[in-house]
Structure 1
């Protein structure tokens, strides 16, 4: 697809993603859906109101009435769509820097659209072929209140609240000024936790930290965990569909380790797990121990959702899916990433008295390195990717080209691929020692830099 990347359309707001372009996407989506009513929601970004106004106008222009949900977490949008049976155009750039914005399309079942459905929308955007509405059939809008409150209740009621309450946990929560600020701390209060917060004021300038919950951005959360003796630190991205954790000592927990711990708890023999091609050996080990099958897809929620649906149509049970960036699906709950629900499921793992560090200790034998090389033009991107292919083809390692180039060595692996959301070439590496993971990543990055 030319427009929709691994997780919707994203770009620098008012430049790559203009109000006019947002309106075209909305008109195309409204045409494909053909429903009487469509929801519009957004995260906290400063351009969110402007772009959501354009989206609402586009939907009304093709005859769709609009439910304006305001600033809410992405998983709250999924709950609303599923309950009311209407789709949504969601204005969010998730973890991207503040100057970015984007658009996700969520179906009437509360799930992001599959690759095939997005392709149909994309075709109409490129052709500018939209439904016609005359002045008497143009859509109207209405403001919807209580979406965040209903979402909080849905998460609380879907987990073992009694066990979490009895554990008397203290949690430190960092929503990163994003959409999770309006709902997620309340989820943990309702679960009986003593809640401490940082960066919990909705603010699209993201003054306390950048939207992506990576280790370099979580110093405030680590300090808060240590100074409050919290049992767990929880951080979300800009639209709160992901959750990453800090243990009781203030140490960052690798997303691959928390995914493995959650998978070990959720899986039974014969189940299937869906993850992306950058899946950690931690998850591979869990699947082998349990007797579950691991299915790999290209990186991105859209691809994972598509494969989960295919497996479920075949009668397979898929209790968990996702990536090591904190984006975990529990398809039997809802086939969407849900930061508050992910965190609540992790709190269940602490309810028996284990500490967070003890829960992930079985998955601590691997080390990860993630890096990115920015490019300034399509030509530079093509040079970097050509160098990546040359490097991969010449390497003495097993090659997987599901998404980019993954090289599996006896003692680790490395993956290089273009980002689906930013102008970057991403490099991932994993090994049993930090030095070896760094070596694998550095060697590949050196080859790409030489190509500049």
Structure 2
């Protein structure tokens, strides 16, 4: 056996922690790397008293081609460490997390979420919740002993171990049927945009069990990287066509690992994730909300919540925000992200039925809660949205934009005194956005302009991309502003690289 540092492996392989688990190129995620990271995770749990020899660990994966191999490598590490593998197969991230939480065991989800399938990742969960940044630091600091079971390219020499399949989806579906009722979607015609989402069959089954008509659409055997924050143009077209042709009440979908929702209204217009988060929190009667700084300001303007706590972007930071709200004594707490992933921090009750907390990103709850609430009010989803303040957010990204260039740009824009920064922002962006009047550096750079428009620039945490969020009083203005800002950045003089290096 040889002792290796997880930190060194991360530096050499480029497979590192981002906003949600460890991710990297599939070509870099050798069996040896995945085995080592799983060992580091288990050693961390062991040091916390949350894992011991003989303990069960749940594991699942999404539908990208590399997931089965990576699952096998992670499972081999669990066995090597003396654990038992609860193999959940290919199920949504929140389903395997909920399975582990209910049984007091750690869990792993092999997924790259919404990013292209030349990349993948591993999302780790403690027995009591997602790993947070302190956990990541501990995993990074582990020294693990690796057995001599890999070939020269880092692949396992022996065939993959075989494990019986355990059921993680039945209780996950029952969670929502039991709370909302077996007739809660009765009379609704609901399209299910399946593409390559791992939870596509779960969504169809859930809609049927809640009395709705399910229309499966767009199933793909090739992985499609659906990003709920930057919906592809072809998916906008498809949703409108399906809604019109089938006279649907809504279309439900999700990203690759089905922890981020994608919900379209009766016209086929996709609802922004941060608006869906508000609708869900309202439907559940939540009073304290944690949400990233990038999310739509309608959450404050609507006046529905006693407190809104803004956080950095990423579910670990939202969870930390929810924990802070809990310490402050708030009784009903949730969190949501711009991608729509909804985290239920406390149990909620309706008509004597309790929905238990699930403090990990979930796609099903926000979609079902919004649909049920609209049905109970006898209005459409679009009408439900119209009850909120008219603030619109659009997000997009510059792909293949080097990470070092993204960070250099942000460093350049926020260098110097406050007056220097505002002048520089106005000089660079003022022609399309107006005069910069204040800014927020909680996560990336969020800029407020004198016309009430907002521009938020942030380097992606898991891909060579620069994210751009824009908010305005109407969707056309937010969309145009987003396109103009991305064009300005893409074609800007790269002198900021020289200034910051």
**TM-score, normalised relative to structure 1:** 0.88
1:105 maps to 2:105: no
The answer to whether the Cα contact below 8 Å between 1:398 and 1:407 also exists between their aligned partners in 2 is yes
Q: Given the superposition, is the C-alpha separation of residues 377 and 368 from structure 1 closer, same or farther in structure 2, using an over 3 Å criterion?
A: closer
Q: Given the superposition, is the C-alpha separation of residues 364 and 215 from structure 1 closer, same or farther in structure 2, using an over 3 Å criterion?
A: farther
Quote the residue 1:329 is aligned against: 343
Equivalent of 1:66, from 75, 85, 99?
Answer: 85
SS at match of 2:368: helix
SS at match of 1:212: coil
Deviation at 1:41, TM superposition (A): 0.9
Deviation at 1:265, TM superposition (A): 3.0
Gaps of 5+ in 1: 134-139
Equivalent of 1:419, from 456, 460, 467?
Answer: 460
Deviation at 1:434, TM superposition (A): 4.4
SS at match of 2:263: strand
SS at match of 2:43: helix
**1:142-157, aligned counterparts within 5 Å?**
142-157=163-178
Can you list the C-alpha shifts for 1:287-313, whole angstroms capped at 9, x where unaligned?
xx2352111111111111122123213
Cα distance between partner residues in 1 of 2:202 and 2:24: 26
Deviation at 1:215, TM superposition (A): 5.1
The answer to whether the Cα contact below 8 Å between 2:401 and 2:466 also exists between their aligned partners in 1 is no
Quote the residue 1:404 is aligned against: 444
Can you list the C-alpha shifts for 1:47-105, whole angstroms capped at 9, x where unaligned?
00011111111222222222211101111112210222111121001111122211100
Deviation at 1:375, TM superposition (A): 4.5
SS at match of 2:492: helix
The range that moved more, 391-400 or 78-87, is 391-400
Quote the residue 1:6 is aligned against: 19
**1:72-83, aligned counterparts within 5 Å?**
72-83=91-102
Cα distance between partner residues in 1 of 2:373 and 2:60: 32
1:51 maps to 2:70: yes
**1:27-176, aligned counterparts within 5 Å?**
27-34=39-46, 35=51, 36-109=55-128, 111-124=129-142, 128-129=143-144, 142-165=163-186, 168-176=187-195
The answer to whether the Cα contact below 8 Å between 2:185 and 2:207 also exists between their aligned partners in 1 is no
Cα distance between partner residues in 2 of 1:405 and 1:102: 27
The answer to whether the Cα contact below 8 Å between 1:210 and 1:217 also exists between their aligned partners in 2 is no
Equivalent of 1:181, from 168, 190, 200?
Answer: 200
Can you list the C-alpha shifts for 1:377-427, whole angstroms capped at 9, x where unaligned?
554344333344359553332111110111122412111111112111111
SS at match of 1:152: helix
Quote the residue 2:151 is aligned against: none
The answer to whether the Cα contact below 8 Å between 1:259 and 1:323 also exists between their aligned partners in 2 is yes
Q: Given the superposition, is the C-alpha separation of residues 359 and 417 from structure 1 closer, same or farther in structure 2, using an over 3 Å criterion?
A: same
The answer to whether the Cα contact below 8 Å between 2:283 and 2:370 also exists between their aligned partners in 1 is no
Q: Given the superposition, is the C-alpha separation of residues 101 and 392 from structure 1 closer, same or farther in structure 2, using an over 3 Å criterion?
A: farther
Deviation at 1:132, TM superposition (A): 9.4
The range that moved more, 300-309 or 323-332, is 323-332
Cα distance between partner residues in 2 of 1:144 and 1:435: 48
Q: Given the superposition, is the C-alpha separation of residues 33 and 231 from structure 1 closer, same or farther in structure 2, using an over 3 Å criterion?
A: same
Cα distance between partner residues in 2 of 1:249 and 1:448: 33
Can you list the C-alpha shifts for 1:100-140, whole angstroms capped at 9, x where unaligned?
2111001213x31122122211221xxx335999xxxxxx8
1:314 maps to 2:328: yes
Q: Given the superposition, is the C-alpha separation of residues 379 and 340 from structure 1 closer, same or farther in structure 2, using an over 3 Å criterion?
A: closer
Q: Which has the higher contact order (CA 8 A, sep 6+)?
A: 1
Q: Given the superposition, is the C-alpha separation of residues 377 and 325 from structure 1 closer, same or farther in structure 2, using an over 3 Å criterion?
A: closer
Q: Given the superposition, is the C-alpha separation of residues 441 and 215 from structure 1 closer, same or farther in structure 2, using an over 3 Å criterion?
A: closer
The answer to whether the Cα contact below 8 Å between 2:200 and 2:253 also exists between their aligned partners in 1 is no
Cα distance between partner residues in 2 of 1:378 and 1:368: 24
Aligned residues: 432
Deviation at 1:231, TM superposition (A): 0.8
The answer to whether the Cα contact below 8 Å between 1:93 and 1:100 also exists between their aligned partners in 2 is yes
Cα distance between partner residues in 2 of 1:317 and 1:349: 22
The answer to whether the Cα contact below 8 Å between 1:59 and 1:66 also exists between their aligned partners in 2 is yes
Cα distance between partner residues in 2 of 1:43 and 1:440: 31
Q: Given the superposition, is the C-alpha separation of residues 58 and 163 from structure 1 closer, same or farther in structure 2, using an over 3 Å criterion?
A: closer
Cα distance between partner residues in 1 of 2:440 and 2:44: 35
Cα distance between partner residues in 1 of 2:141 and 2:467: 28
Q: Given the superposition, is the C-alpha separation of residues 217 and 58 from structure 1 closer, same or farther in structure 2, using an over 3 Å criterion?
A: farther
Cα distance between partner residues in 1 of 2:98 and 2:189: 27
Quote the residue 1:137 is aligned against: none
The answer to whether the Cα contact below 8 Å between 2:288 and 2:305 also exists between their aligned partners in 1 is no
Deviation at 1:315, TM superposition (A): 2.1
